[in-house]
Every structure is written in structure tokens, then in C-alpha cells.
Amino acid sequence: ISVLSDEKTRLERIKLRDNLSDSEAKNRISAQKDDNFYIEKSDFLVYNNSKDTNDLKIQIENIILKIRS
């Protein structure tokens, strides 16, 4: 299972969480594997672009249902 978010969301979260500048946060993101790596390697994907945790809950519940079936 991989959790992905768009680059803008990821950038803002990293800056806020780690108190980084734009360039520092962009450097950190560029050091990570790109989304295609996770898309190809993962059995399930969770997209976390919202501040609404209900959306995450729905995605996770759907994954659990698929795993159990």
C-alpha cells in the first residue's frame, strides 16, 4: 500500500512540518522516488490530497474490503 499526494500538497506539508524553504522542500521531494515507482510496485494506492480525513477513511475501508474478499 502506498500513499500519494500531488506535488503542491506534498510541498506545503513538508514546508509546514519541517519548517523548510521552498527550495529545501523541493530538493527533498526530488530526492524521493517518483509516483510512478509506487504506482507500479503497490497493490493498493491511497491518494491523500485533501484535509478531509473522511476521504482517507473511505479509501482505506475499500482497500480492507478488497483484501478480505
pLDDT score at 4: 97
Give yes or no for a contact between 22 and 15, defined as CB atoms under 8 angstroms apart: yes
User: pLDDT, tens digit, for every residue of 31-44?
Assistant: 999 999 999 999 99
pLDDT band at residue 51 using 50, 70 and 90 as cut-offs: confident
Question: What mean pLDDT do residues 36-54 have?
Answer: 95
Give the CA angle between residues 5, 52, 57 to the nearest 5°. Answer: 85
Give yes or no for a contact between 56 and 46, defined as CB atoms under 8 angstroms apart: yes
User: What is the reported pTM?
Assistant: 0.82
Specify burial of residue 51 (Cβ count, 10 A radius: 0-12, 13-18, 19+): exposed
Look over the chain and give the mean of its residue pLDDT values, rounded to a whole number. 96
pLDDT band at residue 16 using 50, 70 and 90 as cut-offs: very high
